[in-house]
């Protein structure tokens, strides 16, 4: 055999071996076991109206001017000021960076200051802050706010995203095989894609960013109370419309356990979490109550949403307020519910801007173009009338003989619903009217009917015919898994 033929043979064998390794790596990081404590559904706990409050932020158009109603982070700030024993926080975005296109609320620095003041006032206060590496643009620069908190004694935990499954299957497989070995660097020279005021970053930071995975949770617990939110304490998100719940009772233990699991697989110090004695002080569930609550994360959110929607019957109403709607299982459940005579009302963000930048309208424009033709008598779509901000809630409300609310951080997308991102929601159910269900009902009807302001517009005011190119782009991104939804 000639040397030339021998060389070609080795090249073929080499290419075959690389292809096999690539395939094994791809499959493994799709099906590998999730870290312990991830994708959890708690047992149901009885809960009273005194133990749960519905929260919302709204930006909308009044008669002559834009109106901003904000209560979420005022409540979070108050809870920090009342904590004396422990604070456990997990927020996706916590930074002051923006494109400097307007004056934003200084949420990040304000909450940082409150945390530092409270730690100085109560030296034994334990504070754990879990977050996503997006705040350092994937190790591309330092985070001044987190560095100051860490120096003051806060246990700052950057989530180990490598332990999670890979949603961007082709790129992430290549990244794991060939690119991750380059490490990190903070000597940046490239413009930051997150915001113009953010520090420059390196090529290595861009390479990590393209994996498109996240700890997307927004929760906080103290010894007194807790929050599950769709809102980030992030300056450029300060005008977004959002929802959340303020909680008391034993469900708080479940949230703490879920966060301790994230800290454990991310090499955080578990000793900084409240111990069993501290958690035992949380009030027990009442013996009788009109509602039940579960804490659900990751893929269990999708199960809760589908169970609630599939349980809706003729004459019931499903309300959905959502930033991203793209998960095919949920889309099918909407169509099936409409076929059973369920009224489905959707309030969606048009996905046309993000932090001052124009967006293509994906995924909501092509998804609604489909839903608008399925059963227009039963499925009605309204767009939130956004300005430079976003309609950012992730909330389901089934109004029937049994009522269900599911809300938190989870968008209805593959990444959020299929055990890729870390997400956190609560599911609240009951078969009688309560103040909590009334508040959710009033929220949706206020927006739907434009009561005392302009919140939503009809479907055809944003979209009539969807360009074929945009529809093809949507499906191409879905097929290749290269989207952020």
Q: What is the pLDDT of residues 49-84, one digit of tens each?
A: 999 999 999 999 988 899 999 999 999 999 999 999
Claim to verify: residue 272 and residue 304 sit in the same structural domain: no
Q: How many domains does the chain have?
A: 2
Neighbours of 9 (CB within 10 A): 11
* Within-domain flag for 3: no
Confidence band for 5, pLDDT divided at 50, 70 and 90: low
Which residues constitute the domain of residue 316? 291-480
Same domain as 428, residue 318: yes
Mean pLDDT, rounded, for 226-242: 97
Whether 220 is in a domain gets the answer yes
C-alpha span between 64 and 315 (Å, rounded): 38
| Any domain includes 11 | no
Residues 122 and 260 in one domain: yes
Residue 215 — very low, low, confident or very high, per pLDDT cuts 50/70/90? Answer: very high
Q: Give a yes or no: residue 343 inside a domain.
A: yes
Claim to verify: residue 58 and residue 153 sit in the same structural domain: yes
Report yes or no on 5 lying in a domain. Answer: no
Tell me the per-residue pLDDT of 324-340, one tens digit each, with 9 for 90 and over. 999 999 999 999 999 99
- 229 CB neighbour count, 10 Å cutoff: 28
What 3-state class would DSSP assign to 55? Answer: strand
Sign of the Cα torsion 463, 237, 242, 40 reads positive
Q: Which two tokens stand for residue 137?
A: 């643009």
Same structural domain for residues 98 and 173?
Answer: yes
Residue 172 within any structural domain of the chain = yes
Same domain, 380 and 473: yes
Residues 142 and 214 in one domain: yes
Q: Does residue 16 belong to any structural domain of this protein?
A: no
183/157 same-domain check: yes
- Residue 4 pLDDT greater than 70, yes or no: no
CATH number at residue 476: 3.30.870.10
Asked whether residue 205 falls in the same domain as residue 71, the answer is yes
**The pLDDT value given to residue 410:** 98
Q: Are 305 and 412 in contact (CB under 8 A)?
A: yes
Let me know whether 251 and 308 are in one domain: no
Domain's final residue, options 227, 244, 279: 279
Prior bond of 363 cis (ω within 30°):
yes
Percent of the chain surpassing pLDDT 70: 96
**Within this chain, do residues 52 and 74 fall inside the same structural domain, yes or no?**
yes
End of a domain among 279, 299, 323?
279
- The answer to whether position 428 is within a domain reads yes
In this structure, the number of other CB atoms found within 10 A of the CB of residue 132 comes to 23
Contact of 293 with 44, CB cutoff 8 Å: yes
Examine the domain organization and report whether 313 and 267 are in the same domain.
Answer: no
| Domain boundary residue, one of 238, 256, 279 | 279
The pLDDT of residue 352 is: 84
């Amino acid at each position: 055999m000639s040397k030339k033929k021998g060389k070609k043979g080795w090249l073929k064998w080499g290419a075959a071996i690389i292809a096999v390794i690539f395939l094994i790596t791809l499959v493994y990081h799709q099906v590998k076991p999730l870290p312990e404590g991830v994708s959890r559904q708690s047992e149901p706990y009885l809960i009273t109206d005194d133990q749960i409050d519905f929260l919302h932020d709204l930006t909308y158009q009044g008669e002559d001017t834009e109106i901003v109603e904000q209560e979420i982070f005022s409540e979070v700030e108050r809870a920090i000021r009342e904590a004396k024993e422990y604070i456990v926080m997990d927020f996706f975005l916590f930074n002051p960076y923006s494109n400097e296109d307007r004056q934003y609320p200084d949420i990040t620095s304000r909450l940082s200051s409150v945390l530092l003041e409270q730690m100085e006032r109560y030296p034994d206060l334990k504070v754990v802050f879990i977050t996503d590496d997006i705040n350092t643009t994937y190790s591309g620069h330092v985070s001044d706010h987190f560095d100051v908190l860490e120096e003051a004694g806060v246990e700052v935990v950057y989530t180990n995203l490598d332990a999670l499954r890979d949603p961007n299957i082709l790129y992430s497989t290549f990244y794991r095989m060939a690119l991750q070995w380059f490490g990190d660097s903070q000597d940046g020279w490239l413009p930051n894609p997150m915001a113009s005021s953010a520090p420059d970053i390196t090529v290595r930071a861009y390479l990590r960013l393209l994996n498109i995975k996240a700890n997307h949770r927004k929760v906080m617990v103290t010894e007194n109370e807790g929050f599950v939110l769709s809102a980030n304490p992030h300056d450029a998100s300060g005008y977004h419309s959002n929802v959340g719940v303020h909680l008391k009772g034993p469900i708080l233990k479940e949230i703490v356990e879920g966060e301790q699991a994230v800290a454990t697989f991310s090499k955080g110090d578990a000793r900084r979490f409240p111990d069993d004695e501290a958690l035992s002080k949380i009030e027990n569930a009442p013996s009788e109550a009109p509602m039940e609550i579960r804490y659900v994360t990751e893929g269990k959110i999708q199960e809760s949403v589908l169970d609630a929607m599939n349980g809706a019957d003729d004459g019931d109403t499903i309300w959905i307020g959502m930033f991203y709607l793209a998960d095919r299982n949920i889309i099918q459940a909407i169509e099936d519910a409409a076929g059973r005579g369920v009224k489905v009302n959707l309030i969606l963000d048009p996905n046309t801007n993000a932090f001052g930048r124009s967006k293509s309208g994906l995924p909501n424009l092509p998804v609604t173009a489909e839903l608008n033709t399925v059963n227009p008598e039963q499925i009605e779509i309204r767009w939130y009338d956004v300005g430079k901000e976003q309609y950012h809630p992730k909330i389901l409300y089934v109004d029937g003989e049994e009522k269900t609310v599911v809300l938190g951080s989870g968008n209805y997308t593959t990444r959020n619903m299929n055990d890729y991102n870390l997400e956190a929601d609560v599911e609240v159910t009951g078969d009688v009217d309560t103040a909590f269900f009334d508040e959710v009902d009033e929220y949706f009807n206020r927006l739907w009917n434009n009561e005392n302001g302009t919140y939503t517009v009809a479907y055809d005011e944003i979209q009539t015919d969807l360009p074929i190119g945009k529809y093809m782009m949507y499906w191409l991104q879905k097929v290749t898994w290269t989207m952020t939804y």
